[in-house]
């Protein structure tokens, strides 16, 4: 019985002295989309607006992030490239 009481006492002391680590707030996606670097970081691995990409026959004609996009799939239609 003494061992369990000792362990319980140690656990209670540990719980009193334990400090919970402060959590870092992850950057919000909306905040990342306000800067050029943020947009290029977010779009580095995937398209940020696949709805526009797929609706325009796999072209980024009307995407608001086209200029700063870092996605490998980024392309314009032939009509837009000539203009």
For the residues 8-19, what does the mean pLDDT come to?
86
Question: Cα dihedral angle (9, 14, 17, 21), rounded to 10 degrees?
Answer: -160
Q: What is residue 61's predicted lDDT score, i.e. its pLDDT?
A: 86
Q: What is residue 23's predicted lDDT score, i.e. its pLDDT?
A: 67
Kindly report the pTM of this predicted structure.
0.55
Q: What is residue 28's predicted lDDT score, i.e. its pLDDT?
A: 63
Angle at 30 between CA 32 and CA 58, to 5 degrees: 85
Confidence of residue 46 (pLDDT cuts 50, 70, 90): confident
Over 60: is that where the pLDDT of 58 sits? yes
Show Cβ contacts of residue 24 under 8 Å, excluding neighbours closer than 6 positions: none
For the residues 51-76, what does the mean pLDDT come to?
87
Domain range annotation of the chain: 29-74
Rg of the chain, C-alpha, whole Å = 26
For the residues 28-43, what does the mean pLDDT come to?
77
């Amino acid at each position: 019985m003494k061992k369990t009481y000792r362990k319980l006492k140690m656990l209670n002391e540990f719980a009193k002295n334990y400090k919970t680590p402060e959590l870092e707030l992850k950057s919000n996606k909306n905040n990342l989309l306000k800067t050029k670097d943020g947009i290029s970081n977010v779009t580095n691995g995937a398209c940020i607006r696949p709805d526009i990409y797929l609706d325009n026959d796999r072209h980024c004609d009307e995407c608001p992030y086209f200029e700063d996009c870092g996605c490998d799939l980024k392309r314009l239609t032939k009509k837009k490239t000539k203009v």
